[in-house]
């Protein structure tokens, strides 16, 4: 039950709940759980918007150095990002800046992946045989991370 097929807006809410459940079980505090729900939400919305078909998975991790945490994986069949680095920037997609007038038509503010990277410790993209996987990891014990909105 840690895997959600993303085919509809309501699946995004299910993905949030899955992330919350795993995050809570791993030992994240209340607001960290809420932040991880944002991460799951952004990744799931992206699948809906660009990835055609995909799944979102959340699982506990236990790193020898960093300790316990959560890994949220979004796999979809859409093409890999042309430039993942560019897509991470707020107001940018993988090809460059997005005009504010396009926010409505592209259903978003082009800051989803930026939020994901701010609210997680590691963020990677892996090309798959068909499509790609975006992997966000966050550990319970923050190590020098405070890029999130908490001061």
Partner 1 sequence: MEPSDESPSDSAEEVYGRIADILVALADVGSGDYSVRIESTFPESHPLGALCAGINEMIASLGDEQERGEKYRKELEEKLATIERQREAIRELSTPIMEVWDKILCLPIVGVIDSLRSAEMTEALLRAVVSSGARAVIIDITGIEVMDTRTADHFVRMAKAVGLLGAECVLTGINPQIAQTIVHMGIDMAGVRTHRSLRDALYHFVRPKRTRLQRLEG
- Residue 92: its H or E element: strand 92-93
86 binds partner 1 (CB under 8 A): no
Report if residue 98 touches partner 1, rule: CB under 8 A.
no
Q: Report the residue from 53, 83, 84, 90 that binds partner 1 according to the rule CB under 8 A.
A: 90
Q: How far is CA 128 from CA 27, 53, 113, 119, in A?
A: 31, 14, 19, 24
Between 2 and 7, whose beta carbon lies closer to partner 1? 7
In this structure, are residues 5 and 18 in contact, taking their beta carbons and an 8 Å threshold? no
107 binds partner 1 (CB under 8 A): yes
By beta-carbon proximity to partner 1, the closer residue of 63 and 137 is 137
**Least distance (Å) from partner 1 to the CB of residue 66?**
22
């Amino acid at each position: 039950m840690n895997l959600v097929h993303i085919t509809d807006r309501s699946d995004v809410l299910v993905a949030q709940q899955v992330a919350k459940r795993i995050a809570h079980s791993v030992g994240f505090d209340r607001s960290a759980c809420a932040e991880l729900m944002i991460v799951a939400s952004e990744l799931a919305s992206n699948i809906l918007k660009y990835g055609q078909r995909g799944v979102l998975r959340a699982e506990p991790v236990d790193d020898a150095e960093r300790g316990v945490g959560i890994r949220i994986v979004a796999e979809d069949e859409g093409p890999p990002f042309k430039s993942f680095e560019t897509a991470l920037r707020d107001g940018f997609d993988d090809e460059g800046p997005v005009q504010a007038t396009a926010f409505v038509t592209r259903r978003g503010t082009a800051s989803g992946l930026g939020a994901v990277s701010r609210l997680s410790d590691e963020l990677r993209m892996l090309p798959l045989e068909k499509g790609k996987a975006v992997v966000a990891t966050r550990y319970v014990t923050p190590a020098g991370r405070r890029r999130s909105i908490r001061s």
